[in-house]
Every structure is written in C-alpha cells, then in structure tokens.
Amino acid sequence: MGFFDRLKKGLTRTRETLTAKIGTAVLGYADISDDLLDEIEEILIMADVGVSTTEKLMQEVRKGIKKKEIHTPADLKPFLENKITEILLEGGAGVRMAAVGPTVILIVGVNGAGKTTTIGKLSAFYNYYGKKVMLAAADTFRAAAIDQLEIWGKRTGAEVIKHEEGSDPAAVVFDAVKAAKARGIDILIVDTAGRLQTKTNLMSELEKINRVVGREIPGAPHETLLVLDATTGQNAVSQAKLFTQSAPVTGVVLTKLDGTAKGGVVIGIKSELSIPIKWIGVGEGIEDLRPFSAEEYSKALFDK
C-alpha cells in the first residue's frame, strides 16, 4: 500500500466526522439558516479545527452568502472544501538542508509528544535514501530515553552519540556535532528531553543547545522541528509560540494522526501557527512518517 493510500486510510474517521458530516448536514436543510450554520460550526470544532480557525471559516461562509457565492445549502460543502484547501496550500515549505557538511535537525516538544519515535522514523527515512545518519541522545533526563534512542539507532543503522543519564545535554550535542563533522555524516538528528513550554529553566537549556549547534556549524540547526501530538487541543498554539522563543521552530511534525477523528487539527495548526507542517505520522509503522504534502492531504481529506 502506498503512502497516499495509508494517508487516506488514516484519515477515514476524519472524513467521517468532517467531510461526510457536512454533507449530511446540508441535506437536512432546504435553506441556509442560522441552525444550519450552527451545525456546520459544531462539526468544524468537533473535528479539532480549532476555535479561531472555525470562526475564521464561518466568517468566510457568511461573506460568501452575502456575496451570493453560496445560494443553497448544497453550495456550502464545495465552498468550505475550497477554503480549507486554500488554508492547507498556503506557503508550503520544503526541508532545509546544509549546502556542505552535516544537516542538523533539532527535535523539540513537550513530554510524550513522540520525539524519540519520530527520530527513529526520520532516521529510517534518511537511511533509506542512502544518507549517513547520526543521532545525538540529548534527552539525558527521562529514564531510559538514551536506551530507547539506541534501539532506534540499531534498527536504522545510525550511530548514536551519548553521555550518561543526567549529564549536560549541550555537551552531548557539542560532541555529536564534532563527531558528525569528523565522520562525514549527512544528517545529524538531535533528540532533546520533553519539556513543557512554560518551564523557563528548561527552555533556557534548549536555548543553550541551539546556541552550541549554531556556533559549531554556521546556519545550523537547519531545521528545528516541533513534534506535536495530534491529540493536542488549543495548547498547540502556546507550544509553537514559546518554543520558538528559545529555538526558532522551522516546522511541525504532527504525530499520532492514526485513524482517529482528529485530522482536522492540521487545518487549525496551518492557519494559527504560521509554521509549516513538514512531516506527518499516520500510523505506528516505521514507514508511516512522511513529508507533509498539502495537496495529498486535502485530496485524502475530501476523497477526491
């Protein structure tokens, strides 16, 4: 099964709760009424599109009605599909790579978002494309995080640079960057400890890691990816904002978009964070993490 089919399968429930429900809702009304609009609003919010994005979309709908772009309830569905696709397609971005020397990817996020697993999958992805990958075990805080990363390193043929549990993560990163340069590594992926974005001291630790990388390789980290659990609600906005203050986030990795009804969150994140989604994970398999394509996503979402 190709990735598009898996994506489509992963979005089945989202289609049921978002696309199909809108379809059913509009059938129940002869005219466009406040009740119908309320129902549409409800569907959007339930699909985790987010409160402000939903408001934005509903405003568009009301404008569309005024401008006579929407005449009947049946016009609502294609109208919304277009608007949502517009949001998804806005300002796409590729993955930044170093012109010479190792490309450094810094992985950040709150506890339990799926950072280490994401790294395992990223490592597998790059390894598949013939890149030499190295992993830096800079989560020195969580019990057995280093072991977890080492298992992934073994599985995907990547070398792991580590210190002892409890040691200074910036020192691990320093060593890893040196090693990556010396050994001709293509991609260095840095695992960091999960931290809630409101913990000032942990965020300054992240700042330090970011600084160390930048000092050793100008222009690095080339990517700082915020790993976001798709189950997360409105807090995602706060995460994006506060992480960027310590380590400017260049993209989002959206994990655990697997088969549940929360695919709408992609729309909200795209519209509210002003940070592009770069990778999405639609399943637990090692091949289920892929670069995000807005076209594919909207096609899969609307079953086109």
Minimum Å gap between C-beta 262 and other proteins is 5
Question: Was 231 annotated as part of a binding site?
Answer: no
Question: Was 13 annotated as part of a binding site?
Answer: no
Minimum Å gap between C-beta 25 and other proteins is 14
Burial class of residue 179 in the structure, from the number of CB atoms within 10 Å of its CB (0-12 exposed, 13-18 middle, 19+ buried): middle
Helix, coil or strand: residue 281 = strand
Minimum Å gap between C-beta 184 and other proteins is 28
Question: Was 255 annotated as part of a binding site?
Answer: yes
Question: Was 192 annotated as part of a binding site?
Answer: yes
Pairing of strands 251-255, 223-229: parallel
Q: 139 or 186, CB closer to other proteins?
A: 139
Question: Was 136 annotated as part of a binding site?
Answer: no
Q: 178 or 211, CB closer to other proteins?
A: 211
Q: 217 or 266, CB closer to other proteins?
A: 266
Q: 160 or 177, CB closer to other proteins?
A: 160
Q: 64 or 114, CB closer to other proteins?
A: 114
Minimum Å gap between C-beta 13 and other proteins is 8
Minimum Å gap between C-beta 69 and other proteins is 26
Residue 101 near residue 138, CB atoms below 8 Å: no
Q: 112 or 219, CB closer to other proteins?
A: 112
Question: Was 61 annotated as part of a binding site?
Answer: no
Minimum Å gap between C-beta 167 and other proteins is 15
Both tokens of residue 29?
Answer: 């009304």
Burial class of residue 76 in the structure, from the number of CB atoms within 10 Å of its CB (0-12 exposed, 13-18 middle, 19+ buried): buried
Q: Give the CA distances from residue 59 to residues 55, 222, 250, in Å, rounded to whole numbers and listed in that order.
A: 6, 37, 29
Both tokens of residue 189?
Answer: 């992926």
Q: Which residues contact other proteins (rule: CB under 8 A)?
A: 13, 42, 45-48, 51-52, 110-114, 120, 141-145, 147-148, 150-152, 165, 196-200, 204, 229, 231-238, 256, 258-262, 265
Cite the DSSP H helix spans in 71-144. Answer: 73-89, 115-128
Rounded distance between C-alpha atoms, residue 279 and residue 234, angstroms:
20
Rounded distance between C-alpha atoms, residue 253 and residue 108, angstroms:
10
Question: Was 186 annotated as part of a binding site?
Answer: no
Helix, coil or strand: residue 168 = coil
Residues at the binding site for GTP are: 109-116, 191-195, 255-258
Residues at the binding site are: 109-116, 191-195, 255-258
